[in-house]
Amino acid sequence: MSQEKMAFWRRNPHVEKERRVKANARDYNDKFSYADNRIKTSKYNIFTFLPVNFFEQFQRVANAYFVVLLILQLIPEISSLSWFTTIVPLVLVLVITAVKDATDDYFRHKSDRQVNNRQSQVLIRGSLQNEKWMNVRVGDIIKLENNQFVAADILLLCSSEPYGLCYIETAELDGETNLKVRQALTITSDLGDVLKLMDFDGEVICEPPNNKLDKFTGTLHWRDNKYSLDNEKMLLRGCVLRNTEWCFGMVIFAGLQTKLMQNCGKTKFKRTSIDKLMNTLVLWIFAFLICMGVILAIGNTVWETWVGTRFEVFLPWNEFQSSAVFSGFLTFWSYIIILNTVVPISLYVSVEVLRLGHSFFINWDQKMYFSQTDTAAEARTTTLNEELGQVEFIFSDKTGTLTQNIMVFSKCSINGQTYGDVYDEFDQKVEITDRTACVDFSFNPLSDGAFKFYDGSLVEAIKQEVPAVEEFFRLLALCHTVMPEEKSEGNLVYQAQSPDEGALVTAARNFGFVFRARTPETVTLWEMGRAVTYQLLAILDFNNVRKRMSVIVRNPQGQIKLYSKGADTIIFDRLDPSNEDLMNTTSEHLNEFAGEGLRTLALACKDLDEEYFEVWLKKLLFVSTGIENREDQLALLYEDIEQGMKLLGATAVEDKLQEGVPETIACLNLADIKIWVLTGDKLETAMNIGYSCNMLRDDMNEVFVISGHTLLVVQQQLRSAKERILGLSRVSTAGEIEKTHMYAEDSVFEEAIIAEYALVINGHSLAQALEPQLEHLLLDLACLCKTVICCRVTPMQKAQVVELVRRHKRAVTLAVGDGANDVSMIKTAHIGVGISGQEGMQAVLASDYSFAQFRYLQRLLLVHGRWSYFRMCNFLAYFFYKNFAFTLVHFWYGFFCGFSAQTVYDQWFITLFNIVYTSLPVLAMGLFDQDVNDQNSLRYPSLYKPGQQNLLFNKRQFFLCALQGMTTSFLLFFIPYGAFSVLVKEDGSHFSDQQAFAVTIATSLVIVVSVQIGLDTHYWTAVNLLFVWGSLMVYFAILFAMQSDGLFGIFPSNFPFIGTARNCLSEKSVWLVILLTTVVCVMPGLVISLLRVDLFPTLTDKVRRLQQSRKRQGPQEQNLRRVRRTSSRRSAYAFSHQQGYGELITSGKNMRTGPGTSASSPQRTAHSSNWIENMLKKKNEVSCISHQEAGATESSTGVIQTVNS
């Protein structure tokens, strides 16, 4: 538990049932010991760093194991090796890891300080004073100004806008960049003066701190009255104030108790699966070590009893050595020390060096550098690299991660004619690229310079004043809820509650129909250079059922017109029968647009008769003042007037994906990586992006939509979907399997097209499905589906979904996001990836890896991740092999030295073997080796699968490499032993000394492991060659130096093997023994390896063979062909628009009254006042957050099936 949490629980031992906060009363609020506004994401402080970090490090079994060995080596009666051989590397490992952890935590502290030291204006002792964020306390009244971040969770008291309204952007919370409205209580909305605010002493009684972003329940007690509070009165930490000059608010929750921080989750100590496996293997090796020690100790006891007693005259026992059994006991511990090198501490030093090197390779990769923002990929941790090669589940945010959150007016259909495509002189369609010439809008001084359109024929139609085209753009300029802001003459900025609306109004602006100004009663356009003011008679607002919005206006000629836009199927049902031919043509165009992944809207208009409208208006006024069934009555009236419309055309808006997203998703799918999208957006928005990314496709067997509100309904929907999948799977045809194989050699898109099912579930259904009794059913169904999309989810729900998969699936999870709303899932997943995008740096700061574009995830996993896993596995297998071969020679030697714990090699060889003689070649292999190059890693995503299945290094592989090492040690000992029994020197004398025997075995060992690493290396570099040959040369140089006359003369007790190497290695017969030993040790493994590759080749072997055959050819570009979709039209309007804005505009609440307000007729004024009264009755509904998802996706083919209860 972190220090902050421990401190919090010390301050507040009881669980908070409700919160009481009094304004301007710090002494009163301090009684409750509420959290201050300081945040803390770091793990350590200066006092806890050493104990906590060492506690974490000693969770590695090996570190504890080496401490025990160190203690044993300090006991002279049993130690046959010096203690420094263990303590130096152990301290080195602990220090390197501690420095790395301290560096990581320093950056967290730095980030915390940056946030905590932001300035805020707080009302203290009668005046506004600048305070650091961390000094803001519950109950304080703070002032926020435009474009400022909200410092804490505050209750909105008043603002610069009429009726206490203010606008906020919640991208940090839910990923949505469209503006949302908050409104203060009427009773507090006029407290804009500092003196009035000082006198404000209201008390809020509300819910305790929680993580529910969309819910708040409380009551304000002031002046003997009670006022109900809900989420529409709250500004949450992480929001940004927009289009509001200033506002005042009262702090309700601060610091770690704010809803944003409650959703962040806690920082976890992450370890890789290989780390955990190594912990298990160390325990097994320790058990094996004890077994060998017991065998040798028993051997010593038996030997001392039967043989050793005869040698007591020459080898007297020590004073404390009273019996053969006690001698065996001491021998046991001596052998434990001698044989401990089966797991040398240098293994852990090497692993840390490898991980650091792999991290640098990620940081240095130019192909993951994004030049537009000067952002390089960054490995923010060095401990998880090999786990990047084992990912099975990716959990991705949508907004800012898959998409750029930029809407672009791409194409349109007007009066049966499509615009937006570019054709060459042969009338062939040309693909639009960055080099394609844009339309020149210089004829329009009010055009937006950032707007791009490529089809010049639409501009020509405007200049020729084609009536249908003019009416089309007039509708786009009138029928919306956008607010204009003219910062200077001609410098228009549109504040749209959704990016779609902004894109459409901007398109109309560029084509000469500029939306310039609005009042509650008028809309002013600039039509082809002429100012035209329309009288706004009514707004028939959007809602989730209607899926359309209409406006009724009176033009300067006195005509009354209705303009409507909405989902195409909804509009088509309300057209006049005379539009049938045009409707069919437009429908074909809509299918084309949908096939390109564009979001579509249909546009229609209607001329209204004056008398008919007057009658309708009277009905509207009557219904608006009613109490019972008002919503239903209004819907019927709207339906009545929206009949018999004339079709104008359709728009196609592109929700711009980040570059390369569909290709990346398709490629990752081929690697058997399941991608789940977890987003705060609406169901329709999320599904549309699913189609754009090719995660959802029209040829899928079924797309299940789970949208139940109760536990029973959700359970029934999940079961129904699961039964349907299992039922359909039984009748799947063999033809599909053949199709899969056929496409396997073709493009990425066509390979990925064989998916069958998709699951889409919204937030309130997910909340029920995550209950303990349903979570297994949800997980089973989700894992049967190729694609899973969860929409309208809170940050904590994202973390719960990730945790569900982590808990029940033995699979590596990766979460990727770019906003603060993604922090909790990034921390929960095995690997967290932050996209440094438009939604702040919170996700990057909490992540393990970061880069600028989603498409780099493909290279991170399929290249760096796969290589890191491959290298680490080969490194570990080789390391265990060479150390078993090196160490177990002592075991065989024990049977020939009276089990006396005498070492075969001299102590210097034992000390230097892992540190000098064999360390660099295995490091070079672990850093630079690659089975296939990066192009083929991306071209054949199936190469990634062995990592997911843990095939390259597991318990079985460990046993095989340990067995190979034991066999090698056996041969290393017994071949020279047998040879030396019959060998004679050139002068006829025998090799009778143990030192010559030791040098022969040591030299054979170094050569054998060097040859073996040469055979195990797949990719040779100059560094590998240098390290292998260099290590051999260093071995011989040190060997001859340490056994030279000079060193013996200076340190006779430390270098007793004088002249042995010179005498031994000068004999040809010794070199023949070394050659024989090397060949016999290496050949079996080489033969088995060659036979396996030839008879049972893996995909990697096949690709390597292909790579070698193509080595002389240049790199080949992969042919990625996008699969074109048909049908499944999706209305952009149903996605982005939210109910309530129309009422807000006509009420005038969001506009400052001024001298420029247009005059209106008496009838209009009367209607307006009644409309405002109606809105006042419904003032709690001005929120732009929908309580339900926008209308269901329309599909002309009926591909999407909603699972009904």
- Joined together, the tokens standing for residue 771 give 């209950």
- Joined together, the tokens standing for residue 1090 give 């060659």
Q: What does the alpha-carbon distance between residue 417 and residue 464 come to, in Å, rounded to a whole number?
A: 15
Residues 6+ apart with CB under 8 A from 989: none
Token look-up 């009420």 returns 1147
Helix, strand or coil, per DSSP, at residue 244: coil
Helix, strand or coil, per DSSP, at residue 974: helix
Token look-up 């999208």 returns 677
Residues 6+ apart with CB under 8 A from 48: 3
- Residue pair 453/510 in contact (Cβ under 8 Å)? The answer is yes
Catalytic residue among 397, 655, 698, 929: 397
- Residue pair 838/642 in contact (Cβ under 8 Å)? The answer is no
* Structural element, H or E, at residue 439: none
Helix, strand or coil, per DSSP, at residue 600: strand
User: Which backbone phi and psi does 1113 adopt, to 5 degrees?
Assistant: -85, 155
- Residue pair 109/42 in contact (Cβ under 8 Å)? The answer is yes
Residues 6+ apart with CB under 8 A from 863: 934, 937, 938
Q: What does the alpha-carbon distance between residue 321 and residue 1028 come to, in Å, rounded to a whole number?
A: 46
Token look-up 């994401």 returns 41
- Joined together, the tokens standing for residue 233 give 């009165």
Q: What does the alpha-carbon distance between residue 695 and residue 930 come to, in Å, rounded to a whole number?
A: 31
Q: DSSP letter at 939?
A: H
Which segments of 422-558 are extended strands (E)?
422-423, 429-430, 483-488, 491-495, 513-518, 522-527, 530-540, 548-554
Helix, strand or coil, per DSSP, at residue 484: strand
| CA angle centred on 1137, ends 768 and 448, rounded to 5° | 140
| DSSP state letters, 1027-1084 | HHHHHHHHHHHHHHHHTSHHHHHH-TTT---TTHHHHHTT-HHHHHHHHHHHHHHHHH
Q: What does the alpha-carbon distance between residue 516 and residue 524 come to, in Å, rounded to a whole number?
A: 6
Q: DSSP letter at 438?
A: P
Q: What does the alpha-carbon distance between residue 652 and residue 605 come to, in Å, rounded to a whole number?
A: 18
What angle separates helix 61-73 from helix 84-116, to the nearest 10 degrees? 140
Residue 36 annotated to the active site: no
Pairing of strands 787-791, 812-817: unpaired
Go through 759-783 and write b for each residue having 16 or more CB atoms within 10 A of its CB, e for each that does not.
Answer: bbbbbbbbbbbbeeebbebbbebbe
Report the C-alpha dihedral over residues 102, 105, 107, 110, rounded to 10 degrees: -110
Which residues pair with residue 216 across a beta bridge?
Answer: none
Q: Decide: residue 992, CB within 10 A, 0-12 exposed, 13-18 middle, 19+ buried.
A: exposed
User: Amino acid identity, residue 327?
Assistant: S
Q: What does the alpha-carbon distance between residue 334 and residue 343 come to, in Å, rounded to a whole number?
A: 16
Token look-up 């293997």 returns 281
* Structural element, H or E, at residue 757: strand 757-762
- Joined together, the tokens standing for residue 95 give 């220090």
Nearest residue to 1017 via CA among 1111, 910, 927, 888: 927
Give the distance, in angstroms, between the CA of residue 1165 and the centroid of all CA atoms in the same chain: 54
Cβ neighbours, 10 Å, residue 1072: 12
Q: Which residues are catalytic?
A: 397
